[in-house]
Amino acid sequence: MRLTAKFSLILSLLSSVVLGSSLVVLYFAERQHLLSALEKEQITNIQKLARVCVDSVLDDNELARLTYLKTFWTSAKPGLMRYVVLLDGQGRVLMHSDFLKGDLSLQNKPTAQPALLRAAKAAGVERQLVGAPGDTTDVLSTPVLIEARRVGTVAIAYDRQALDRSIAEIQQESLLRYGQATVAGVALSLLFAVFIARMLTRPIRDLSAGAEKIGRGKLDTRIAAEGKDELGDLAREFNVMAKRLAELDELKEGFLSKITHDLRNPLSAIIGYVELLTMGIQGPMSAEQMNSLNVVLRNGNYLAELINNILDLTKLEAGKMEVVKRPVALRQVADSVVELMAVKGGEFQVGLDQASIPAEVRVASDEQLLKRVLLNLVSNSLKFTPAGGKVFIEWSRLPTGEDRVAVRDTGVGIPKEKLHTLFQKFSQITETMNKVRESKGTGLGLVITKEIVEAHGGRIWVESEYQKGTTFFLALPPLVPEAPPAKVHAG
């Protein structure tokens, strides 16, 4: 998992935990708030009822009491109240909610309910919970006073279970809103987390991209070091390192260029004189002397090839090798390569051919450099293909319009875990070295091949199965047709 994803996930989880915890606390706090608000409303209602009762007692107006009771009873949520009662000073029932149903059996009779008897003796507003669990009544009472003289008691009995259900319904609606708020909050926190994570990891991504570019040889890469924190310090140190690497690389390239130039001239003279000696121009040579000279000549040529490869690679990496792209007949180049390598193919008893490349195929390339690429690849394939094997040069047109040229062999193949090392300088695959025949090389041929292909704007890759064969592919950009010459009309 990438660092940005990890940061986003952690921040999202933290935000979700905080949001979820806040909503849980809010949910239970809301219940307490609803209970408190409901109790205050109940007290307000009973005090209003007590004031109406005071007026009706003074006026001896029973009708007024019953009218207010009816209004009060019908305005409440059905099932919320069990009864409403007004007792006189001696504890007799003056008004009862049963009266509204036509039941007057309790009128002017002393109450026998313990809760009402206790309420009749209470000095102020009192709340009592009576009954068994699951069937609890919340009895709220207050005295009816006229000039500080108690003339009665008002009591309202609430169904506690109905009250709890009412609160639960309100909370159920709140829970739906909280759920919607949670989903929106999580979505926003996720977006915020991704934004923060990307902002925090941007310097790290820049460092990673810069390190990757430097790893590909782009030593002029620099990173913006804006911050004054540890990441900013790291970016500045990275730039110092990149600058130093560029200086060392420039020093190395200069050294290689100078030393190879200085070696090539005397080496050319040595090879020239040895060739003259082998030709007998300086006089006859014995067989033993001739063998010794041939050893010197072979190793001199090997050193000359190594020096030339180093010089070419230095030019390519510095962008100093000129690439002149023109429409090139691929079949002619392939035939030329097959002809040049036919002697070596015959010596190794390996078949070599171009696989029916159409004569009309034209590719955008520098003809000499393309020939060098194919010679390098075919030479490699011949080295690692046993007698009786085959090497083919093939062509196809990719859906992107690129021309794909392939050099396919039936050789020993390359272990998959070693494929990534093929295009590295001085790379040698120990599992295949000298397995078919002596394969002495400089370890620079494929590096030069890759540089040439990339200088054309193309790409190169390899596919191989160990013990079964290898195919090198190179894809060149499509040929851009030349604009037709403008017609000139006689005036």
234: CATH: 1.10.287
**Of 315, 348, 372, which marks where a domain is finished?**
315
Residues 331 and 454 placed together within one structural domain of the fold: yes
Residues 153, 263, single domain; the answer is: no
Exposed/middle/buried for 467, CB within 10 Å: 0-12, 13-18, 19+?
exposed
Question: What are the angstrom distances between the C-alpha of 470 and each of 63, 138, 164, 391, 466?
Answer: 110, 90, 80, 10, 8
* Residue at 463 is within a domain: yes
Looking at residue 489, its pLDDT comes to 44
Q: Is residue 91 part of a domain?
A: yes
Q: Do 29 and 150 reside in the same domain of the chain?
A: yes
What whole-number distance in Å separates Cα of residue 331 and Cα of residue 115?
Answer: 112
Bridge partners for 131 per DSSP: 136
Residue where a domain terminates, one of 259, 283, 315: 315
The domain tally of the chain equals 3
On whether both 153 and 273 belong to a single domain, the answer is no
Task: Report which residue type is found at 250.
Answer: E
Distance CA 123, CA 475 (A): 101
We report the CATH number of the domain holding residue 118 as: 3.30.450.20
**Residues 303, 356 within the same domain:** no
Name residues of the chain where pLDDT drops below 50: 483, 485-491
Integer Cα distance of 260 and 312 in angstroms? 11
Q: Is 207 within a domain?
A: no
The parent domain of residue 105 ranges over 3-168
Label the pairing between strands 362-365 and 326-329.
Answer: antiparallel
Residue 346 in any domain: the answer is: yes
Cα 315 to chain centroid distance, Å, stands at: 39
The pLDDT of residue 439 is 64
Residue 192 lies in a domain: no
Q: How far apart are CA 486 and CA 491, in angstroms?
A: 15
Same structural domain for residues 74 and 27?
A: yes
Instruction: Give me 467's structure tokens.
Output: 């013990």
* Separation of alpha carbons 108 and 115, rounded Å: 18
pLDDT of 31-60, one tens digit each?
788 888 888 988 998 888 888 888 777 777
Residues 307 and 372 in one domain: no
The verdict on 156 and 77 lying in the same domain is yes
Q: What is the pLDDT of residue 440?
A: 65
The last residue of a domain, from among 263, 293, 315 = 315
pLDDT digits (tens, 9 = 90+) for 79-103: 889 999 999 888 899 889 898 888 8
- The answer on 459 and 377 residing in a single domain is yes
Domain co-membership, 15 together with 86 = yes
What is the pLDDT at residue 1?
58
Q: Is residue 391 part of a domain?
A: yes
- Token pair 């069990």 is at which residue? 82
pLDDT value for 334: 92
| CATH code for the domain in which residue 326 is found | 3.30.565.10
Q: Are residues 278 and 368 in the same domain?
A: no
Which pTM value belongs to this model? Answer: 0.48
177 domain residue, yes or no: no
Q: Based on the fold, state whether residues 256 and 387 are members of the same structural domain.
A: no
In a domain, 421, yes or no: yes
